[in-house]
Amino acid sequence: MLSDSDLQAIGLTVRLAGVVTGILLVLGTPIAWWLARTRSKWKGPVGAMVALPLVLPPSVLGFYLLLAMGPNGPIGHLTEALGIGLLPFTFWGLVVASVFYSLPFMVQPVQNAFEAIGERPLEVAATLRASPLDTFFFVALPLALPGFLTAGILTFAHTVGEFGVVLMIGGNLPGITRVASVQIYDHVEALEYTEAHKLAAVMLIFSFLVLLGLYTRRPGSRRA
Amino acid sequence: MLRYALLLLASLTFGAEALAATVQVAVASNFAGPMELIAAAFEKSTGHKTAVSTGATGKFYAQIQNAAPFEVLLAADDTTPAKIEAEGLAVPGSRFTYAIGKLVLWSAKPGFVDKDGMVLKKGKFAHLALANPKTAPYGAAAVEVLNHLGLFKALEPKFVQGENIAQTQQFVATGNAELGFIAKSQVVKDGKLTGGSAWMVPEKLHEPIRQDAVLLAKGKDNPAAIALLAYLKSEPAKAIIQSFGYGF
């Protein structure tokens, strides 16, 4: 039913969302832990920075990233010095952009979950002579697991739904940066409405199922 | 007090309408530069107002089909206005070619593109930007040129595609693509290159890019829409269009 290029776009989208979710699990968890535990005056500013992509138009992020990752930008200088080359028009460029873009969707639910644990279990663990690292891995992480599940699903789904940033730094390369949302846009512009309908329906059903899973996972409970 | 305010408001709106109207124009991205000057000159000489939206012609087509409020379309091609007319969404017989687009191979770096386009054969670059050939006429013309030169297969892996011609220029202007095929109007002002280096692609390498204008059904009774189309054919407008490197 779907054409090869549509399937390729879906495969690429899933791969991008998967990689980004994996990276953000590793990057986002310490940030969330720090935000949940700290009394530092930097908590406010860091929390605001993390939340920025929630309110910034994707065009702002795409514009900054295009300049920053280009040959005259700081990220571009860095990646060229490291011998990676330039990031725009590459899969890893999209990954970097999406990590910024989806950061709050990982950090915020995990931070909430850490905060919900409270002091008590951590203090009990400490009196039982658990090291801070042990406490984190064997007490905090298991207790925050529902929060991680929510964060993972939201991050994955949000990356799948990304469009504006990809359009600005992607260059529409089949199999590399032409994700499903861009493919649908292309179909619409080329007046291929049948193809656009098919792919759009796939996206709609996927998004609904993801959210259905999220909201019915623990009936009656608030989001972690 | 309120009565005076209402009276003032009424006289402003109705009074203005009797003299001048506003025309909603959808303009292909490549014509954004000249349109800015033409709109200003048009407003000055007729008293009408313009509300200009720029974007990809294909997107405008989809929007016009779905009741977008545009009254005049300045397309990047001649097929879209014809299609719109055939579908009854435009005033029959109002179509005409307002400009013939010229293609350039452009780089933001001075000296990178030679004046014969030999840089394409050497292929010493990572990215060649062009507008999406499926949807943008300048992208399709670029593909034609590369086919003509026998370089399509060799250079296709280096393609990066802009959603429209403006985004394509942005890829090159930011240096993320070393060079790209764009519209001459984007980098030529008063007959001179505004920066970087360019190869003016000979017109025999691709079909002429005829850009047609059409009066849309929504604008058929709007004096400003009719006046704008007439103004596009006037000498002052033609002089502006020509200064951006278009032909007729």
**Shortest Cα distance, chain A CAs vs residue B236, angstroms:** 33
**Shortest Cα distance, chain B CAs vs residue A43, angstroms:** 35
Confidence class for position B1, pLDDT limits 50, 70, 90: low
Say what the pLDDT of residue B17 is: 45
Per-residue model confidence as pLDDT tens digits over B115-150:
899 999 999 999 999 999 988 889 999 999 999 999
Say what the pLDDT of residue A37 is: 92
Mean pLDDT, residues A194-201 taken together? 94
Q: Is residue A43 part of a domain?
A: no
- B98 vs A: CB within 8 A: no
Q: Is residue A59 part of a domain?
A: yes
Which residues between 138 and 167 in chain A have a beta carbon less than 8 angstroms from any beta carbon of chain B? Answer: 167
Residue B92 sits in the same domain as residue B114: no
At a CB cut-off of 8 Å and minimum separation 6, what does B161 contact? A171, A172, A173, B129, B130, B131, B132, B133, B139, B168
Inter-chain Cβ pairs, chain A and chain B, closer than 8 A: 61
Per-residue model confidence as pLDDT tens digits over A35-69:
999 999 999 999 999 999 999 999 899 999 999 99
**Shortest Cα distance, chain B CAs vs residue A51, angstroms:** 28
The tokens describing A170, both together, are 């992607």
Per-residue model confidence as pLDDT tens digits over A174-185:
889 999 999 999
Say what the pLDDT of residue B73 is: 97
Residue B234 sits in the same domain as residue B184: no
| Candidate from B134, B161, B177 with C-beta closest to A190 | B134
Q: Which residue range forms the structural domain that includes residue B165?
A: 103-200
- A189 vs B: CB within 8 A: yes
- DSSP class of A56: S
Confidence class for position A2, pLDDT limits 50, 70, 90: confident
Residue B94 sits in the same domain as residue B214: yes
Residue ranges with strand state E in chain B: 22-28, 49-55, 72-74, 96-101, 103-107, 128-131, 159-162, 179-183, 188-189, 192-193, 197-200, 209-215
Q: Which residue range forms the structural domain that includes residue A186?
A: 4-38+51-216
Please judge whether A69 and B176 are an interchain contact, meaning their C-beta atoms are less than 8 angstroms apart. yes
Per-residue model confidence as pLDDT tens digits over B164-186:
899 999 999 999 999 999 999 99
**Total of domains in chain A:** 1
Place of tokens 């029959």: B92
Kindly report the CATH number assigned to the domain that includes residue A189: 1.10.3720.10
Asked whether the predicted pLDDT for residue A220 surpasses 60, the reply is no
Residue B88 sits in the same domain as residue B114: no
Q: Is residue A153 part of a domain?
A: yes
Using CB atoms within 10 A of its CB, is residue A54 exposed (0-12), middle (13-18) or buried (19+)?
exposed
Q: Is residue B29 part of a domain?
A: yes
Say what the pLDDT of residue B7 is: 53
| Candidate from A69, A169, A172 with C-beta closest to B161 | A172
Indicate the average pLDDT of chain A.
91
- A128 vs B: CB within 8 A: no
Mean pLDDT, residues A22-34 taken together? 97
ipTM summary value: 0.76
| Candidate from A67, A70, A171 with C-beta closest to B160 | A171
Asked whether the predicted pLDDT for residue A215 surpasses 70, the reply is yes
Say what the pLDDT of residue A218 is: 62
**Total of domains in chain B:** 2
Q: Is residue B41 part of a domain?
A: yes
Per-residue model confidence as pLDDT tens digits over B89-125:
999 999 999 999 999 999 999 999 998 999 999 999 9
| Candidate from A66, A89, A190 with C-beta closest to B127 | A89
How far apart CA B177 and CA B12 sit, in angstroms, is: 50
The closest alpha carbon to B102, from B127, B132, B76, belongs to B76
Kindly report the CATH number assigned to the domain that includes residue B7: 3.40.190.10
pTM: 0.81
Residue B37 sits in the same domain as residue B112: no
Residue B180 sits in the same domain as residue B123: yes
Asked whether the predicted pLDDT for residue A222 surpasses 90, the reply is no
- A190 vs B: CB within 8 A: yes
Say what the pLDDT of residue B237 is: 96
Q: Is residue B205 part of a domain?
A: no
Residue B66 sits in the same domain as residue B109: no
| pLDDT above 90: percentage of residues in chain B | 77
Indicate the average pLDDT of chain B.
91
Residue B94 sits in the same domain as residue B215: yes
- A172 vs B: CB within 8 A: yes
Please judge whether A191 and B62 are an interchain contact, meaning their C-beta atoms are less than 8 angstroms apart. yes
Asked whether the predicted pLDDT for residue A92 surpasses 90, the reply is yes
**Shortest Cα distance, chain A CAs vs residue B129, angstroms:** 8
Asked whether the predicted pLDDT for residue B226 surpasses 80, the reply is yes
Query: Contact A168/A93 with Cβ under 8 angstroms?
Result: no
Asked whether the predicted pLDDT for residue A113 surpasses 90, the reply is yes
| pLDDT above 90: percentage of residues in chain A | 71
Mean pLDDT, residues B9-32 taken together? 73
